[in-house]
A and B are shown apart, each in its own frame.
Chain A
Amino acid sequence: MAKNHNIPEYKAEWKAGEEGKWGMAIDMDICTGCNACVAACAMENNIPFVGEEDAGYGRGMHWIRIERLWEGKYPEVKTEFQPVMCQQCGSAPCEPVCPVFASVHSQAEKLNVQVYNRCVGTRYCANNCPYVVRTFNWRDYDRPEPLNNQLNPDVTVRQRGVMEKCTFCVQRIHKAQDQAKSEGREVFDGEVQPACAQACPADAIVFGRIDDPESRVSKLAKQGRGYKLLEDLNTLPQVTYLKGGSHVRNG
């Protein structure tokens, strides 16, 4: 892709040389595409299901999805699984386009947050997101009783006309921070786990502080296999992907 000149001269809360705070490393060599993260995310974050017709129209509400892109032709055909969620860009293309400041950068968390009660549903942010990870509540989706019993009280239930996306399970970050504060200590590495990382049977998703060089996620991200999605857009994503296997024949 040619260099994209459409990204505005916009720096959000980003200061040169300043790392983000929370980040993720996803090892594509061991991601098995099992979708446990997708289900876990939906259960944790009160994500509605939209039904067959809307889902087929591209209106599914998944905050995380497993990309599966084909390469080659049968029988030399192959593919890889790649979980994609909001990359929590340091210089987020979704932020400057929001007329009501619903898509903003939080100073405390250095996360890209969506303020639901500001959102007026222009969908400009989704239009501008190169990762296509924002989902829009086209309707008020049914949650027949008693399915509503499993709603997580830590997460707002969204209404029609509101944009939403992955939050890095910010409610879990806050809970861990409160706990640490009450015990007079820092949050330790691995204490915060978003629902996807917690469920992942292969432990392919690792979450933690990327401003701490000693954290597990920082060490993984520094491995030679690390890369960012659409790096040339200079969105400064906080998610590092670790390249899949060699596929070199050893015979």
Chain B
Amino acid sequence: MSENISRRDFIKLAGVTAATAAVLTGCGPASRYVVREPYTKMPEYTYNGQSTYYATTCRECAAGCGLVVRTMQGRALKVEGNKYNPTNLGKTCARGQAALQGLYNPDRIQNPVNQKGEEMDWDTAIGVVAETLGKYQPDEIAFLTGLAPDHLFDLFGEVAKTFGAPAPLRYGALGMFEARATLGEAARALFGQPNNLFFDLAGAEVTFSFGANFLETWVSPVAYTRGFAKMRQGTPGKRGYLVHFEPRLSQTAIKADEWFAIKPGSEGLLALALGKLTAEHQGKVIAAYEGVDVEAAAEAAGLEISTLERLARIFGNSRHALAIPGGAPLAQSNGLDSAKAILSLNALAGNLGQPGGVFLTPAAPVNDGYHRPATVRELALLVEKMASGQIKALFVHGVNPVFEIPAALGFSAALDKVETVISFASFPDETAVRADYIFPDHTGLESWGYQRLASGAKESTLSGAQPVVAPFYNTRATADVILAAAERIGKPLPYKDEVAFIQSKIESLVTTEGGFHAAPEINTFWAQFQQFGGWWTNDEKLGSPTSAVLDRPLAVRPAEYQGNGEYHLFTYVSPILGEAGANKPWLQEVPDPTTTVMWNTWVEINPKTAETLGLHDDDVVRIVSPFGAVEVSVYLYPAIRPDVIAMPFGQGHAAYGRYAEGRGVNPADLFGGAVNDAGDLAYAGLKVKIEKTGQKKQLSRLESRIGVYGYEEH
């Protein structure tokens, strides 16, 4: 079903849509305070031809950037950044921009349905949820949620508590790729608190990034991009220096002054060697670096000792030096040691709690504990319980575990053993299509909510979400469904609906001084919370780590690799698609920043390596690991180590709508199940084989094919 729109149709359509939206109004408590009226009864703040702007929070990743969405007559037209929100100060990334293609996605789930695809009414649906919650023992129920939204994670936590069920697990592929638990564990070991860290890029003179893709997907890319811009051009006459260590030239590496393609798994050893040389250069004797073998580290990384010495001088000479550990180095068998080694460079530089240094992310205004994503070790426990039939009911929200959890962990098979699987997905993703019931939640732009920040802002911040349009389909807020179900089986929570729940959580902030806004009572505060898109402190609330780590020797053992292939597989999250952007057609058509490929997956191979193997651009090869195999087109990437091949994560969906399904491959299918000391998946320590298939499939790319006359050989 499609339509080509003429100008006249377009004008007609605008009218029809407004009327349709009016009909859909009032479909549940979630549309509380959001009422669309027909033309004849327009709300007084709406003028024909004038836009209304609503502040809300982006849900395309969990960073919690503030958005302002332009709407007109009940339709959302354009996503813009919220200039007040301290996370992104009015800016957005490509994924945020495309959020509307989620809201208006043609493949959304429009009604509650059972596995046969039969539509149900919401009353029956709530009955099913109530029955499921009542039927099983508390420890037979599991909640699996995404990294966003936080308010629902909090509510699931309270529901689980009320029923005596285990606390919800939260998971997202981004969390896995960034090995967030490892960084948290290293922070606990070094700084005493398992906290999220904030790296003050803006104030740094010299930054050593160990595979941290902070301009792409890492933790809070919009905030770190702002930090990067300030570091480069924020102070007249000063230009921050960025050195990046990563096996391939990533988007972040392209922006670095120096890029070193080091061997995967050698990052920690390299950090220790740099620490030792820096200390020597500064004339210090540091216990932490005793027994560090610089020569061995240089060899492991594939760098000259003279290069290391030069880099150590750069680092040691700066008064504002910073070291950032990225995701891939931590997702190695030695990842936890590497994280500590890299973080120790900050202690050596004396930047803890100093401008241009390392801070602890401010405590959130609501429920301020650090709710990190589940590690793969924790997930494996869940999978085991599911497979053994111990888990009888699984509730899934905000995550697509069949796609996002690497196949080697066996989640997919274990899902069949669970008696009742209820998905709250908005889209027919791989997990939803296998669930017993899909009770679709509103999409992010139709929802109430709040989000805490993993990092990004110096202020203690709670990003607030509100519906910018009335729910487009017959969906219902998951919070309302759960609350209604709990009430129906006689274990009510003290909240009338989702809005009441959120209001009860932010009640303590109403009169709090030092906030961006305050009010004498909740209703005024709530109005302001919606108007400004959340609440945050005026002052910086960063914590300062205190360290004693340099007193004890640090050691990083060599990385162990799974698989016996010739090539290291380097997997990174697609900077454009992220973990869940594949169903948005315009994100598919935005070229990848490094390869300019659109609409597909590729494998990056160094041209030298390809020559040896007799491979050319667009040749289809089979990448084989002990755990799986995928077939993918070759992209000759001139800036990758010859012994490394790289693939982006984000495509390879077996479901998830017409734009995602059957497109590209999922490199996570190649991963094994080995974990590091913190329980995160050691996906980066994988060696694979390349097999020729003799086939060719052309990749769509922007480079060399620009212009209306199409493809030319260059």
A residues with a Cβ closer than 8 A to B are 27, 29-30, 32-36, 38-40, 42-44, 49-53, 55-60, 62, 65-66, 68, 70, 73-75, 77-81, 123, 126-127, 132, 134-136, 138, 140-153, 156-157, 159, 195, 198-204, 245-247, 249-251
Residue of A nearest to B589 (CB): A49
Cα separation A123 to B606 with both chains bound (whole Å): 38
Bound: A43/B102 CA distance, A = 13
**Is A50 a contact of B699 with CB atoms below 8 Å?**
no
**Which B residues touch A78, using CB under 8 A?**
249, 254, 259, 639
Residues of B whose CB lies within 8 Å of any CB of A are: 1-7, 10, 13-14, 17, 72, 75-81, 88, 90-98, 100-101, 103-106, 215-216, 221-222, 225-226, 228-229, 232-233, 239, 241, 249, 251-252, 254-255, 257-261, 310-311, 313-314, 472, 575-576, 585-591, 593-594, 596, 598-600, 606-608, 638-640, 642, 658, 663, 698-703, 705-711
Report yes or no: A44 in contact with B78, Cβ–Cβ below 8 A: yes
- Among candidates B90, B96, B98, B104, residue contacting A149 with C-beta atoms closer than 8 Å: B104
The answer to whether B705 and A68 have CB atoms under 8 Å apart is no
Q: Are B10 and A151 in contact (CB under 8 A)?
A: yes
* A56-B698, A81-B593, A148-B13 given; A135·B708 CB < 8 A: yes
With a cutoff of 8 Å between Cβ atoms, the chain B residues found around residue A52 in the complex are 588, 598-600, 663, 700
Instruction: Choose among A50, A135, A141, A147 the residue that contacts B104 (Cβ–Cβ < 8 A).
Output: A147
A57 to B706 alpha-carbon distance, docked (Å): 9
Tell me which of A127, A201, A245 contacts B226 (CB under 8 A).
Answer: A201
For the complex, give the distance between the alpha carbons of A59 and B78 in Å: 24
The smallest beta-carbon distance between A91 and chain B, in angstroms, is 21
Complex CA–CA separation, A7 to B710 (angstroms): 23
On whether the beta carbons of B5 and A136 are closer than 8 Å, the reply is no
Residue of A with least CB distance to B259: A78
Contact (Cβ within 8 A) B228 A35: no
Are the C-beta atoms of B91 and A34 separated by less than 8 Å?
Answer: no
* 30 A–B contacts, CB within 8 A, in A order: A29-B233, A32-B251, A34-B593, A36-B96, A40-B94, A50-B589, A55-B589, A56-B599, A56-B698, A56-B701, A56-B705, A58-B707, A58-B708, A60-B598, A65-B591, A74-B638, A78-B254, A134-B708, A136-B708, A143-B5, A144-B1, A144-B2, A144-B106, A145-B106, A148-B10, A150-B103, A150-B104, A156-B7, A159-B6, A246-B239
Interfacial chain B residues near A132, Cβ < 8 Å: 706-707
The 3 nearest A-B residue pairs measured at CB: A56-B700, A52-B599, A39-B94
For the complex with contacts A36-B97, A74-B642, 13 further pairs of A-B residues with Cβ separation under 8 Å are A29-B233, A32-B215, A33-B255, A68-B254, A70-B638, A123-B708, A132-B707, A136-B708, A149-B76, A152-B78, A201-B225, A249-B258, A251-B311
Residues on B with beta carbons closer than 8 Å to the beta carbon of A38 = 94, 590-591
Task: Tell whether, in the assembled complex, residue A153 and residue B314 are in contact, meaning their CB atoms are under 8 Å apart.
Answer: no
* Contact in complex: A147, B106 (CB < 8 Å): yes
Q: What's the least CB distance linking B85 to chain A, in Å?
A: 13
- A199 and B91 in contact (CB under 8 A), knowing A43-B100, A146-B104? yes
* A150 to B705 alpha-carbon distance, docked (Å): 29
Q: Are A250 and B241 in contact (CB under 8 A)?
A: yes
Chain B residue numbers with a CB within 8 Å of A36 are 91-94, 96-97
Q: Are B314 and A250 in contact (CB under 8 A)?
A: yes
Taking a contact as CB atoms under 8 Å apart, the answer to whether A201 and B2 are in contact is no
- The complex places the Cα of A23 from the Cα of B709 at a distance, in Å, of 28
Task: Check if B226 sits within 8 Å of A203, measured CB to CB.
Answer: yes
Pick the contact of B225: A34, A75, A247 (CB < 8 A): A34
Task: Determine the chain B residues whose CB is within 8 A of the CB of A148 once the complex forms.
Answer: 3, 5, 10, 13, 104
Partner pick for A150 among B101, B594, B658, CB 8 A cutoff = B101
Least Cβ–Cβ distance between B217 and chain A, in angstroms: 10
B254 nearest CB neighbor, chain A only: A79
**What A residues does B222 contact at CB under 8 A?**
201
Q: Given A32-B255, A36-B97, A199-B91, check contact A150 B75 (CB 8 Å).
A: yes
Cα A59 to Cα B701 with chains together (Å): 11
| A38-B94, A73-B638, A123-B708 known; A32-B314 Cβ under 8 A | no
Q: CB-nearest residue of chain A relative to B255?
A: A32
Q: Are B76 and A150 in contact (CB under 8 A)?
A: yes
Please indicate the chain B residues that have their CB under 8 angstroms from the CB of A204 in the complex.
Answer: 229
Please, which residue of chain A has its CB at the minimum distance from the CB of B91? A201
Q: Are B711 and A58 in contact (CB under 8 A)?
A: yes
CA separation between A62 and B579, bound complex, in Å?
Answer: 23
State whether A43 and B78 are in contact (beta carbons under 8 Å apart), knowing that A56-B711, A58-B706, A251-B310 are contacts in the complex: yes
A84, B688: Cα distance in complex, Å: 38
Cα(A34)–Cα(B575), bound, Å: 8
Chain A residue at smallest Cβ distance from B600: A52
B92 touches A199 (CB 8 A): yes
B97/A199 in contact, CB under 8 A: yes
CA distance A49 to B4 in the complex (A): 13
Complex contacts, B258 vs chain A, CB 8 Å: 249
Chain B nearest CB: distance from A191 CB in Å?
13
From B101, which residue of chain A is reached at the shortest CB distance?
A147
B94 and A34 within 8 A (CB): yes
Given contacts A140-B4, A245-B232, contact A149 B75 (CB under 8 A): yes
A43 touches B98 (CB 8 A): yes
Residues of A within 8 A of B98 (CB): 39, 43
Bound form: Cα–Cα A55–B254 in Å: 25
Contact: B591 with A66, CB < 8 Å?
yes
A65 to B706, CA, bound (A): 9
List B contacts of A146 (CB < 8 A).
17, 104, 106, 472
Q: Are A57 and B93 in contact (CB under 8 A)?
A: no
Shortest Cβ distance from B704 into A: residue: A58
Is there an interface contact between B593 and A49, defined as CB atoms closer than 8 Å?
no
CB-nearest residue of chain A relative to B261?
A75
Candidate in A44, A127, A152, A245 with the most chain B CB atoms within 10 angstroms: A245
Residues of chain A within 8 A (CB-CB) of B313 are: 251
* Cα of A39 to Cα of B592 in the assembled complex, Å: 12
Are A201 and B93 touching (Cβ within 8 A)?
yes
**A126 with B707: CB separation less than 8 A:** yes
Q: Which of B2, B105, B228 has the most CB of A within 10 A?
A: B2
Which residue of chain A has the shortest Cβ distance to B95 in the bound complex?
A39
A199 / chain B contacts, CB cutoff of 8 Å: 80-81, 91-93, 97
Asked whether A150 lies within 8 Å of B100 as measured between CB atoms, the reply is yes
Q: Collect the chain A residues with CB atoms within 8 Å of residue B103's CB.
A: 150
Could you tell me the distance between the alpha carbons of A27 and B606 in the complex, rounded to whole angstroms?
30
CB atoms of B708 and A198 under 8 A apart: no
- Nearest CB of A to B650, in Å: 14
Shortest Cβ distance from residue A36 to the other chain B in the assembled complex, whole angstroms: 5
Find out whether the CB atom of A60 lies under 8 angstroms from the CB atom of B594.
no
Complex Cα spacing A247 to B232, Å:
12
Whether A60 touches B589, Cβ cut-off 8 Å, given contacts A78-B254, A147-B101, A201-B88, is yes
Instruction: Identify the closest chain B residue to A152 (Cβ).
Output: B77
Chain B residues whose C-beta falls within 8 Å of the C-beta of A135 in the assembled complex:
708
User: Within 8 Å CB of A30, what residues of B?
Assistant: 228-229, 232-233
Residues of B within 8 A of A56 (CB): 598-599, 698-701, 705, 711
Contact, CB under 8 Å: B586 / A42: yes
B105 CB contact (under 8 Å) in A35, A58, A147: A147
Contact indicator A74/B608 (Cβ below 8 Å)? yes
Most chain-A CB neighbours within 10 Å: which of B79, B97, B233, B596? B97
- Nearest-CB residue, chain B, relative to A44: B78
**If the complex has contacts A33-B254, A34-B93, A43-B78, are A68 and B639 also in contact, measured as CB distance less than 8 A?**
no
How far does the alpha carbon of A39 sit from the alpha carbon of B255 in the complex, in Å? Answer: 21
Q: Which residues of A contact B229 (CB under 8 A)?
A: 30, 201-204
Q: From residue B613, how far is it (CB to closest CB) to chain A in Å?
A: 16
Of B100, B251, B260, the residue contacting A33 (CB under 8 A) is B251
Considering the chains assembled together, what is the distance between the CA atoms of A104 and B707 in angstroms? 20
Bound complex: CA of A149 vs CA of B221, how far in Å?
29
| Given A52-B598, A157-B10, A251-B310, A144:B3 Cβ within 8 A | yes
Q: Give every chain B residue within 8 A of A55 (Cβ-Cβ).
A: 589, 598-599, 700, 702
- Alpha-carbon distance A50/B222, docked complex (angstroms): 28
With A38-B590, A53-B700 known to touch, is A201 a contact of B92 (CB < 8 Å)? yes
- From B2, B215, B225, A142 is in contact (CB under 8 Å) with B2
